[in-house]
Structure 1
């Protein structure tokens, strides 16, 4: 038998700081850039009964962990459940099983921050956030750990939501955070732009981006939905989390190809390649860069293993036992 640690959502929540998530995820992408295996998400849907099952996975040899994420949504219940298993990369033994929902905004936010750190100008001081939900919160908190932002402008279509978000983040961060009345007002003078929305169509005009701007887009991973217009993709060095997913569910890139703005070889590099130094990132202060984050097992395994190690050190979690196949399959 193998004993693994089960961590509840309550135990995971608040266990690590945004800085710790960013450090773990950066290391995960460094390993990916040096050849660590990872595959894009797979999504199964059902019409009757209505529902969705999604999963993705990765192996991080230097971390010594492999695993991924699986989440289910039953549309009749209008809710979702997230599970993150972590295995030992050498023995294959289960190490941990996490109730994964509470870590989601933090590990996803950390991925965006790694993209900012790898691709944005070092002197970036102004940030635009389009979106005001939990993912936007995670992105902003993580982004503030990799650049010393002085001003943050927030836009979402509902005035109350953007003002509430700005007030909360203004109290939490050193930067001045303010709500604005349009995405154009947020974007046009920003050094860094984050989109974290459920929009199906572009949320700003790519012509508004100043030379040198970095954009992190993380709100859509559907071939027919996009947050960025073709102009943004065309003007930018385009860096996805995984090259393999670009033509599958990176809707902004797919639309830009269909409109003839770019070809499929417009992909500059994977984020991991830039982090590992096997491909260049920004090469000029005037470069416009885009990190297209659709979600991978890389950040999930990196974050989940980090949380597992912290939980062990703090005596958190409860043990659950798994039978090895050598016993269970033979009935011994």
Structure 2
């Protein structure tokens, strides 16, 4: 809380233009650096409802050097068939609340930044061609953030609906320096790609892992369910496999779990967490021929890192509405 005992409530609209993709990438990279040095973080917990169909999800992280802790809680589905995100942010020293975010608008940016940190840590330094699967807000966030860490020449976009991929390509082609083009098949996207990013809601693999050329980096970020996956067992088996959190692998990393179930990989196939690669505790890419895979299911690390960056900028800009929290020592007298 501020000196007068208040925290900030920040709306999606207020934080929407406070930072660009490079700012998110810098904040999230710092968050994973702290994780690599032992900052606490836990994978998501999800509760499911059958009637009405929906889920309630939450995850947390503490970033002591950043000075913040908190997480994300969101409800999706249910009667409205929509999603709502709430993000509480606390001071890591005092434990007092700093802010509460209406957290929907920052989601694609902090998630995209995580993918970009993975690309920066694992992809070759010189890459030219990106294959992007997906044409929604998460795909947009991944692409914008990736262009902040690599100078691309060309992006091939594939999604099953031609109208969606073509409109996405047209929008991004106007915004970015690399040529962005829609392609008609997964194979056309993967052919010649230096980096492949999947940002879909698919339950089954979206491309054939045999098509990956030596040296390719893959980021899979659209699935976090033990029985669903965007990449196949071949992709997992051919790759140096790096998840965001080791604890998440056994919980909801469907790509890894299903590859292991099929006998393509064993327990020892997990190379390192992203934070360990960021700090240098583990080698990311050993050579130019290696295929690398970053499995990004979402954690509180990027959430807290991005939210704290936005909170500080909001305070500088005088944004947000002050709200009061009563300490438990007072409320429970």
TM range (shorter): over 0.9
Give the secondary-structure state (helix, strand or coil) at the position aligned to 2:242. Answer: strand
Is contact 1:187–1:208 with CA below 8 Å preserved after alignment?
Answer: yes
Give the secondary-structure state (helix, strand or coil) at the position aligned to 1:197. Answer: coil
CA distance in 2, matches of 1:314, 1:57: 27
Q: Over the residues paired in the alignment, what is the CA RMSD in angstroms?
A: 0.8
Match of 1:61 in 2: 64
* CA shift for structure 1 position 75: 2.0
* CA shift for structure 1 position 52: 1.4
Q: How has the CA–CA distance of structure 1 residues 160 and 49 changed in structure 2, closer, same or farther, with 3 Å as cutoff?
A: closer
Match of 2:195 in 1: 192
- Give the unaligned 5+ runs of structure 1: none
* CA shift for structure 1 position 12: 1.3
Q: How does 1:312-327 map to 2 (within 5 A)?
A: 312-327=315-330
- Give the unaligned 5+ runs of structure 2: none
TM-score by structure 1 length?
Answer: 0.98
For 1:50, which of 50, 53, 58 is the aligned residue?
53
CA distance in 2, matches of 1:79, 1:240: 28
* CA shift for structure 1 position 247: 1.3
Q: Deviations over 1:33-92 (max 9, x none)?
A: 000000000001122343311000000000000000000124211111001110000110
Q: Is 2:76 the counterpart of 1:70?
A: no
Q: How does 1:72-221 map to 2 (within 5 A)?
A: 72-221=75-224
Q: Where in structure 1 do 4 or more consecutive aligned residues deviate above 6 Å?
A: none
For 2:313, which of 310, 315, 323 is the aligned residue?
310
CA distance in 1, matches of 2:282, 2:107: 28
Q: How many residues align?
A: 330
Match of 1:250 in 2: 253
The worse-fitting range, judged by mean Cα deviation, of 251-260 and 41-50 is 41-50
CA distance in 2, matches of 1:268, 1:283: 12
CA distance in 2, matches of 1:98, 1:149: 33
Q: Deviations over 1:106-145 (max 9, x none)?
A: 0000000000000000001110001101100000000000
Q: Deviations over 1:157-215 (max 9, x none)?
A: 00000000000000010000000000110012100000001111100000100000000
The worse-fitting range, judged by mean Cα deviation, of 237-246 and 41-50 is 41-50
For 1:264, which of 263, 267, 285 is the aligned residue?
267
Q: Deviations over 1:222-253 (max 9, x none)?
A: 00000010000000000000000101100010
Is contact 1:2–1:324 with CA below 8 Å preserved after alignment?
Answer: no
Q: Deviations over 1:268-306 (max 9, x none)?
A: 000000001111100100010000000000000000000
Is contact 1:128–1:153 with CA below 8 Å preserved after alignment?
Answer: yes
Match of 1:237 in 2: 240
CA distance in 2, matches of 1:132, 1:47: 29
CA distance in 1, matches of 2:275, 2:188: 32
CA distance in 1, matches of 2:229, 2:208: 13
CA distance in 2, matches of 1:273, 1:63: 18
TM-score by structure 2 length?
Answer: 0.98
Match of 1:281 in 2: 284
CA distance in 1, matches of 2:55, 2:154: 39
Match of 1:297 in 2: 300
CA distance in 2, matches of 1:264, 1:246: 10
